[in-house]
């Protein structure tokens, strides 16, 4: 199959592993930003095949995982209202709020529906003019264009009963927050290929130069990831703190200008709170003031809901690459995919879920 089988070639993987082994002359710590990359690494055993000199740590690139608890609680408050049809992607339905999740709200009679596209939510608003339809818009730059287009479409049709609760986050400010921390261990990054397909890589160049770290946009198949690791190690060994594109079939320097245009028309940059990490300046997107009619937090007046993270969950340290999931005392005990304490155990991209699913307990 084009662009699949060739990126899972065992012989090529072995050659790349051998080249990584020959290239690495000292220990290096590399962070893969994206949760999808984390799952691919563990599913294919890449973490166990790399030489001992290369340590992979897991970053904050799981959008479900970094959605703050207060956003979930605000979503739950809206979803419980009788006039609301609340829509979300499926991986948000089990993310725990302070006391509930969306599935529990649904079990008590809330009209909570899973959708596969935000435009499905627009369709529901069109078909149910007597109801308020709310879409939970989370994600990195990857999902922002589609979510922005939903508002653009609703506005064009005059659908006053459609709105979004927005918790979009941006990758570059998170990388800077990690690199500027006094506890930082990261020496190089595998950047998320799908984010770079939208945004390009120009915004990473000043970060690489400022902090002296190579940044390598990377795909999600085993060969993609091994090639990204090799390019990162080569740059580290050479003292080359620049951006190297390892995802040529999808990522261009300028990204996707059309997608960026629609995002800029609907959203604007804001400070954003990250679950387990705290507020990172300029790290989020919010609905522009002139489009406030589509902002569910304002429409339903839930902006005052504020909550604290549970102390037992170390998701923040995991998302910053400071600890591995199996270093959490609750991992696999009080916290499991069926009874999660935090979003990193719920999401299909969460590091804790990956460690649990692929049996990495005690192997970090």
If you write DSSP's letter for every residue of 30-64 in order, what string do you get? EEEEEHHHHHHHHHTTHHHHS-TTEEEEEEEE-HH
Kindly report, residue by residue over 290-328, the tens digit of the pLDDT.
Answer: 999 999 999 999 977 777 666 667 877 888 888 888 888
Residue 362 has pLDDT above 70, yes or no: no
State pLDDT tens for residues 121-149.
999 999 999 999 999 999 999 999 999 99
- Residue 64's CB: how many other CB atoms inside 10 A? 24
Instruction: Name the percent of the chain lying above pLDDT 90.
Output: 73
Query: Is the full-model pTM beyond 0.85?
Result: yes
The arithmetic mean of pLDDT across residues 49-62, rounded, is 92
Neighbours of 223 (CB within 10 A): 19
In the numeric block, which tokens belong to residue 3? 């662009």
pLDDT at 272: 94
Q: Which domains does the chain carry?
A: 1-314 (3.40.50.11740), 315-357 (no CATH)
Segment 149-177 shows an average pLDDT of 97
In the predicted structure, residue 276 carries a pLDDT above the cut 70: yes
∠ at Cα 195 (118, 37), nearest 5°? 105
């Amino acid at each position: 199959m084009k662009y699949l089988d060739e990126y899972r070639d065992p012989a090529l993987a072995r050659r790349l592993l051998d080249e990584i082994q020959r290239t690495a002359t000292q220990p290096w710590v590399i962070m893969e930003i994206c949760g999808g990359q984390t799952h691919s690494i563990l599913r294919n055993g890449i973490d166990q095949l790399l030489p001992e000199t290369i340590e992979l740590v897991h970053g904050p690139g799981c959008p479900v995982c970094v959605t703050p608890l207060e956003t979930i609680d605000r979503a739950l408050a809206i979803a419980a209202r009788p006039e609301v049809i609340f829509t979300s992607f499926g991986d948000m339905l089990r993310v725990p709020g302070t006391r509930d999740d969306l599935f529990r709200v649904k079990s008590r009679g809330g009209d909570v529906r899973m959708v596969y596209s935000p435009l499905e939510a627009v369709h529901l608003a069109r078909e149910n003019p007597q109801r308020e339809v709310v879409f939970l818009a989370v994600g990195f730059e990857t999902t922002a264009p589609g979510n922005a287009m939903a508002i653009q479409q609703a506005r064009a049709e005059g659908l006053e009963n459609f709105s979004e609760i927005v918790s979009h986050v941006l990758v570059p400010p998170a990388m800077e927050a990690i690199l500027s921390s006094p506890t930082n261990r990261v020496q190089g990054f595998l950047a998320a290929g799908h984010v770079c397909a939208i945004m390009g890589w120009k915004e990473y160049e000043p970060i690489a130069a400022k902090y002296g770290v190579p940044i390598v946009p990377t795909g999600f198949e085993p060969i993609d990831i091994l090639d990204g690791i090799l390019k990162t190690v080569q740059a580290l060994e050479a003292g080359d703190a620049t951006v190297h594109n390892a995802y040529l079939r999808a990522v261009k320097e300028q990204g996707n200008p059309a997608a960026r245009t629609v995002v800029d028309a609907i959203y604007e940059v804001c400070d954003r709170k990250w679950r387990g990490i705290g507020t990172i300046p300029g790290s989020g997107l919010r609905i522009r003031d002139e489009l406030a009619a589509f902002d569910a937090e304002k429409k339903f007046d839930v902006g005052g809901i504020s909550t604290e993270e549970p102390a037992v969950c170390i998701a923040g340290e995991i998302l910053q690459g400071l600890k591995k999931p199996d270093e959490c005392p609750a991992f696999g005990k009080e916290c499991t995919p069926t009874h999660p304490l935090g979003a990193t155990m719920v999401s299909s991209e969460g590091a804790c879920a990956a460690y649990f699913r692929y049996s990495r307990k005690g192997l970090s």
